[in-house]
């Protein structure tokens, strides 16, 4: 399990995980996978990663822009 912690806000934040080494590991749910952080003091999101073979893997996490009105 890959845990991503969001700092600087207690709001739920939309995140996208992208697997840059699919031959080594697999992101459960596809590639890319979107999720939201939990919000609150911990404010974490979790992504399941399943190893396919030995080696180094790389997962890219990005903030997904909200569809709300710009402020």
pLDDT in tens, 30-69: 999 999 999 999 999 999 999 999 999 999 999 998 765 4
Q: Residue 66: its pLDDT value, please? A: 73
Q: Give the pTM.
A: 0.85
Q: Residue 37: its pLDDT value, please? A: 97
Mean pLDDT for the stretch of residues 1-27 = 96
* Eight-state DSSP code of residue 22: T
Percentages of the chain per state (helix, strand, coil), in multiples of 5: 0, 40, 60
Q: Residue 5: its pLDDT value, please? A: 97
Q: Residue 68: its pLDDT value, please? A: 58
């Amino acid at each position: 399990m890959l845990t991503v912690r969001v700092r600087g806000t207690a709001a739920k934040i939309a995140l996208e995980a992208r697997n840059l080494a699919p031959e080594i590991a697999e992101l459960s749910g596809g590639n890319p996978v979107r999720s939201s952080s939990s919000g609150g003091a911990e404010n974490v999101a979790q992504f399941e990663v399943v190893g396919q073979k030995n080696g180094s893997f790389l997962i890219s996490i990005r903030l997904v822009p909200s569809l709300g009105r710009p402020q």
